[in-house]
Structure 1
Amino acid sequence: MSEQSEQEKRIDELYDLVDGIETAMFVTQREDGQLVSRPMATQKRNPVADLWFVTDVESNKIDELDQNPNINLSYFSTKSKEWVSVSGTATISTDRAAIRALYEPDWKMYFGALDDVRNGGPDDPRLALILVNADSVIYLKQDKSTPAVLFELLKGRITGDRPDLGTVKSVTL
């Protein structure tokens, strides 16, 4: 398999994993150097960015990203034990046309209605997009069935041996 098609396969695996894990821990760095994590829902796959999220322009993460756009996203599935770690850079967009085009009705529940303008709808001025361009990705893609994973975990607990949960792979973009 060529290097290009192997990388495409791994990127497809990444999206398969991310699609199966609803929430990412989105990590930024505060001005004082401390790291901050918060759960965020990855939005559906779209060519607008490698991964993207919706946020409130008044949130602390906007200030943190203005200071330092380097981020980490971590995903973990308790069911399959698969995980993904994405390192990259984030860009904030308040482009109303893009927000309207990508808008999902369930965003309303995260923003709530404060008044006629700030109502959680596609024209709410609080809405912004965080576009993440991935630089590198490390992940574990499970190639075993759930019962086989559970067997490996049980076997490891009994024997003290490390369970074989799959192969860690990486992609540099």
Structure 2
Amino acid sequence: MKDTEKDTDDSERVWDLMKKVGICMLATRDGALIRARPMGAYVRREENAVYFLTDARRHKDDEIARDPHVCLAFADSRGQTYVSLTGRATISADRDKIRELFTTPAKAWWDSADDPNIRVLTVTPNDAEYWDSPGTVVSYIKMAAAAMTNTRPALGDNKKVAL
């Protein structure tokens, strides 16, 4: 397999894993502090973006306006799948995109897509790193075998990927 094909495969895997997990921790900078909160992600590979609906009355908008560099941390501990993505975030009041993304989970926070407080937070990725293992039970068996044989366990794939 050529390097460009491998890079494409790794990139696709990152997008697939993020979509599968769906919820991530969005980390922003608040001055010298880093703040993280769980967010429902709308993963759109074809648009090279991860979208979120957010509320203008929260602090994320201000933090991103001061420093647009963010980290998204996706974790499925049961499946032993993790993705960490870095990128740049923007905030907009794009009503068409808000209506497109306004699904059942959003209805827990707002009455309608026309709520003037809803914003679209768009993250354009720079790079990502993923860890994907065969699952908890298999991982524990491999760790136990490695401990008994004084070797390191092979717990799945780990790659850094430029997006």
Q: Report the TM-score, using the length of structure 1 for normalisation.
A: 0.83
The answer as to whether partners of 1:28 and 1:71 remain within 8 angstroms in 2 is yes
Ranges in structure 2 where 5+ consecutive residues have no aligned partner: none
2:23 equivalent to 1:23: yes
Q: Which residue of 1 aligns with 2:160?
A: 170
Question: Structure 1 CA distance, aligned partners of 2:45 and 2:108?
Answer: 22
Question: Structure 1 CA distance, aligned partners of 2:69 and 2:87?
Answer: 6
What pairs with 1:1-173 in structure 2 (closer than 5 Å)?
1-31=1-31, 33-45=32-44, 47-111=46-110, 119=111, 121-142=112-133, 144=134, 147-155=137-145, 162-173=152-163
Q: Which amino acid aligns with 2:153?
A: P
Structure 1 residue 52: Cα displacement: 1.3
Structure 1 residue 98: Cα displacement: 1.6
Question: Structure 2 CA distance, aligned partners of 1:95 and 1:27?
Answer: 23
The answer as to whether partners of 1:13 and 1:141 remain within 8 angstroms in 2 is no
The answer as to whether partners of 2:53 and 2:118 remain within 8 angstroms in 1 is yes
The answer as to whether partners of 2:22 and 2:42 remain within 8 angstroms in 1 is no
Q: Report the TM-score, using the length of structure 2 for normalisation.
A: 0.87
SS in 1 for 2:57: coil
Question: Structure 2 CA distance, aligned partners of 1:136 and 1:172?
Answer: 4
Q: Between 157-166 and 67-76, report the one with greater CA deviation.
A: 157-166
Structure 1 residue 94: Cα displacement: 0.7
SS in 2 for 1:58: coil
Question: Structure 2 CA distance, aligned partners of 1:46 and 1:79?
Answer: 24
SS in 2 for 1:19: helix
Q: Which amino acid aligns with 1:123?
A: D
Distance 1:107 1:160, change over 3 A: farther
Distance 1:100 1:164, change over 3 A: same
Q: Which amino acid aligns with 1:137?
A: A
Q: Which residue of 2 aligns with 1:114?
A: none
Superposition RMSD in Å: 2.2
The answer as to whether partners of 2:18 and 2:43 remain within 8 angstroms in 1 is no
**Quick one: percent identity of the two aligned structures?**
27
The answer as to whether partners of 1:74 and 1:84 remain within 8 angstroms in 2 is yes
Q: Which amino acid aligns with 1:151?
A: I
- The structure that is strand-richer by fraction is 2
Structure 1 residue 161: Cα displacement: 5.5
Distance 1:25 1:145, change over 3 A: closer
What count of residue pairs does the alignment treat as equivalent?
163
